[in-house]
Amino acid sequence: MSGWWQSNRRALLALIVLVPVTVGVFTGWEWWKVAGYAPTFPTVAEQGGSTDFAGITFGPATATEVSLPDEDLPEGTKILWVRVPLDRHGAATGCLVNGLRELSGQGRFWEQDSATVTWDSRRYTFCPTDRAADLFPKGPFQIDVPFIVPDDVEGPLGVELVIPDEFPGYVRLVVVP
């Protein structure tokens, strides 16, 4: 029996090395196919701070509780108005507010409600990319978005902004309402 082990030792060593490597490569590839198109790796700016990401300066963001008299909100909820100043430094890079995440407690997540809440249509809720459009901002501007959240939300919260070409990276600006 020892003759068989000696004659096949190189093949067995190759098998011992290649099987885990193959499993790791395929698992990593499948994970990257999923995570590569979803916000996975945040660039974080703490409360009151700003950050640069993909050539855009984001922040500092603020979150303010507002009451809109014409809104019929579900019981036990409130509206948080999030404002994010940004400067694209002349570029036409597009960006979107992905949502608002509770950074402590349950880690809940809310999408923006600018379509649900009666909101001034002249406010930017994303980064326009069409330079020819009349609404294209020429310099620094701000994104204003409303979120309907439960009354018990206090903070800190993370405003998450995505730039589609930069996935899986994204920006998280910490705010406390």
Identify the CA nearest to 127 among candidates 82, 170, 84, 80: 84
Burial class of 77 by CB neighbour count within 10 A (0 to 12, 13 to 18, 19+): middle
Q: Which amino acid is at 3?
A: G
Burial class of 94 by CB neighbour count within 10 A (0 to 12, 13 to 18, 19+): middle
Sequence-ordered list of residues with C-beta below 8 angstroms from that of 71, at least 6 positions apart, any chain: 79, 117, 118
Identify the CA nearest to 146 among candidates 70, 45, 63: 63
Tokens of 80: 């948080």
Identify the CA nearest to 41 among candidates 139, 168, 152, 173: 168
Tokens of 177: 């309402």
Task: Report the C-alpha gap between 164 and 114 in whole angstroms.
Answer: 20
pTM: 0.78
Query: Check: CATH 2.60.40 for 43-175?
Result: yes
How many CB atoms are located within 10 Å of the residue 17 CB?
10
Q: Average pLDDT for consecutive 10-residue bins of the chain (177 residues)?
A: 83 90 88 73 94 94 87 88 93 89 92 81 80 76 93 92 88 95
Q: Where exactly are the structural domains of the chain?
A: 2-35, 43-175
Per-residue pLDDT tens digits for 159-169: 999 998 888 89
